């Protein structure tokens, strides 16, 4: 299941390092990836910022959402969605 990302949730999450700059929040990409159970975020646009533990990649929430890789639906998932959307009155 894909976790929904919201700024309020990420800011409350203690395991995610966040930095505010010029009124926008940047989140440490490795922390967000761990929060998303190791999801691949390699396509996310990042900026390197200095933090206590050294330089790290940070990104805006919008960039993280854009860069998340969508998992391809299996044939079974596609058939289930098709069945759920079936309307007999359309079939004539």
Does residue 56 form part of some domain?
yes
Domain assignment present for 13: yes
83 within domain boundaries: yes
Whole-number Å distance between alpha carbons of 91 and 56? 55
pLDDT in tens, 24-59: 999 999 999 999 888 888 889 999 988 888 899 999
**What is the band of 71 on the pLDDT scale with cuts at 50, 70, 90?**
low
The answer to whether residue 80 sits within a structural domain is yes
Shortest CA distance to 7 belongs to which of 62, 48, 44, 49?
62
Containing structural domain, residue 67: 7-90
> Does any domain span residue 2?
no
Q: Is 25 domain-assigned?
A: yes
Nearest to residue 60, comparing CAs of 34, 35, 23? 23
Residue 30 resides in a domain: yes
| 3-state SS assignment for residue 4 | coil
- Is the separation of the CB atoms in 59 and 47 below 8 Å? yes
| Residues 37 and 69 sit within 8 Å (Cβ to Cβ) | no
Residue 1 maps to a domain: no
Has this prediction a pTM greater than 0.75?
A: no
Look at the chain and report how many structural domains it folds into: 1
């Amino acid at each position: 299941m894909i976790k929904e990302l919201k700024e309020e949730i990420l800011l409350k999450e203690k395991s995610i390092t966040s930095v505010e700059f010029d009124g926008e929040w940047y989140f440490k990409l490795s922390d967000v990836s761990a929060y998303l159970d190791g999801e691949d975020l390699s396509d996310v646009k990042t900026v390197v910022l200095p933090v206590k533990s050294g330089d790290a990649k940070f990104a805006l929430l919008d960039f993280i959402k854009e860069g998340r890789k969508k998992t391809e639906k299996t044939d079974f998932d596609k058939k289930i969605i098709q069945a759920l959307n079936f309307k007999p009155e359309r079939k004539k």
